[in-house]
A and B are shown apart, each in its own frame.
Chain A
Amino acid sequence: MFARGWTDGLPVVPPTEARVERMLSGTSRNPADLVAVVPPDLVDCTVEKVAINAVMAGCLPEYLPVVLTALEAVCTDDFNMHGVLATTMSVGPVLVVSGPITKEIKMNHGINVLGHGNRANSTIGRAVQLVIRNVGGGAPGGIDRATLGHMGKQGFCFAVDQEGSPWISLSEDRGFGTDQNTVTAFAGEGPHILMDQKSRSADSLTRMLAQSLLGSVSSRVVMGIDAMLVLSPEHMARYRDAGWDRSRFMEELANHLMVDADSIIIGSGGIEEGLPQDFAGLSLPKFRPGGLLVVHAGGPAGLFSAVIGGWVNGPTGSEPVTKEITP
């Protein structure tokens, strides 16, 4: 299978007819139903083709609805998977799963949440990437032109910790109900740790997080690239103690994410990268409205959060897409 170009470099589970049939038992959809038109070759992809790739990735049948929905999300015009592949920037689909299904399929939202070790987390994103490769034709060195890439492109999927959060979830913030199962697809790079082990007040931690977030992807880019902030339980505790809700946090954080454009104008500080001269004198937000997605996840101990930098945002690049998972 590796010689045929069907794998991502790691061994895969052979998709025998029996295994694929078992995989298909995880969804109520018909095997011949169309799931999505998969970039970059814009190929009609059936439920059966997704099931074959899900077997190869190592998924269990109960993961299939998440894989199907995640694939639908990344194959939308808004997400722009063709661009995410073709860019030389090192981004890939980051899939955030929310709702009761995360517990039902035993996803990890705790220790090592952005790492390895959990079957659902490790294989759902991998299945999506195998479909993009095998059905869509989007393989590294072909349409995928990433200069560096990152290991999360093997498959990057995790669950949010909703029970442990005093805030509404990202999914609710994006218009879904508390008990709805959803997947949010975000075009992101690898996670970058944000360390603050000393702040004991919400205000101090917010200032520190903002200072770190200003460097997300490039300290000289404002508004054009989104980010996802993964707030850990021990950092979240500062906001729980202070009684801050999600909107208070977003508001306070935004106040500390204003950038004096003069400091990042082309040539300032002896750096040729930066904003054109027309922006001189302005104060600009680091992120566009809605351009910072915040989720709660991680192990119970450790005063670290993480930022996952994004790619070109909006209609000219990639929009985060949230979809309800259907069986």
Chain B
Amino acid sequence: MTATSQTGLTVLDPTAEGRPAERELTPRAETLAGLTVGLLDISKPRGNVFLDRLEEHLVKIGAGVERYAKPTFAKPAPVDLRHEIATTCDAVIEALAD
């Protein structure tokens, strides 16, 4: 692909020339009560502190909680883990840390 400037200079496209796939968001839940919420720890220090507090709150309002952890914070979550969360949970919260 090429692009032409206002001065008439034609250059080749340095990008991937792709467009990100657009997907519709899953409908947002009115309430988390009765739903299963995945809590994903990215495996950095003190992420568990935040997620423990969230779990307490979620349990109080009647949500089910599933805990997950990435093998390392330094890489994207593995496909299998993402698939497991997507098929088990109605919602997911990913924790930052430090």
B74 to chain A: which residues have CB within 8 Å?
80, 83, 87, 311-312, 316-318
Which residues of B (1-15) have their CB < 8 Å from a CB of A? 2-3, 5, 9-15
A-B contacts at CB below 8 angstroms, number: 60
Determine if B14 and A6 form an interchain contact, defined as CB atoms under 8 angstroms apart.
yes
Q: Flag A1-43 by CB within 8 Å of B: 1 or 0 each.
A: 1001010000000111100100000000000000000100101
Q: What distance in Å separates the Cβ of A214 from its nearest Cβ neighbour in chain B?
A: 22
Q: How large is the interface on A (under 10, 10 to 19, 20 to 34, 35 or more residues)?
A: 20 to 34
Partner of A41, one of B9, B12, B16: B16
Q: Is B18 an interface residue when CB atoms closer than 8 A count as contact? A: yes
Q: Is A134 an interface residue when CB atoms closer than 8 A count as contact? A: yes
Partner of A316, one of B5, B11, B75, B76: B75
CA distance A317 to B72 in the complex (A): 8
CA distance A83 to B70 in the complex (A): 13
Partner of A16, one of B12, B71, B72: B12
Determine if B76 and A82 form an interchain contact, defined as CB atoms under 8 angstroms apart.
yes
Q: Is the interface of B mostly helix, strand, loop or mixed?
A: loop
Which residues of A (40-64) have their CB < 8 Å from a CB of B? 41, 43, 45, 48-49, 52-53, 56
Chain B contact residue count (CB 8 A cutoff): 18
CA distance A311 to B72 in the complex (A): 13
Determine if B14 and A14 form an interchain contact, defined as CB atoms under 8 angstroms apart.
no
Q: Nearest CB to that of A187 among chain B residues?
A: B74
Chain B interface residues toward A at CB < 8 A: 2-3, 5, 9-16, 18, 20, 71-72, 74-76
4 smallest CB-CB distances across A and B, nearest first, come from A316-B72, A83-B74, A43-B16, A134-B14
Can you list 23 residue pairs at the A/B interface with Cβ under 8 Å? A4-B3, A6-B15, A17-B12, A38-B16, A41-B16, A43-B18, A49-B16, A52-B12, A52-B13, A56-B14, A82-B75, A82-B76, A83-B74, A83-B75, A130-B14, A134-B15, A135-B14, A135-B16, A136-B16, A137-B16, A311-B74, A316-B72, A317-B72
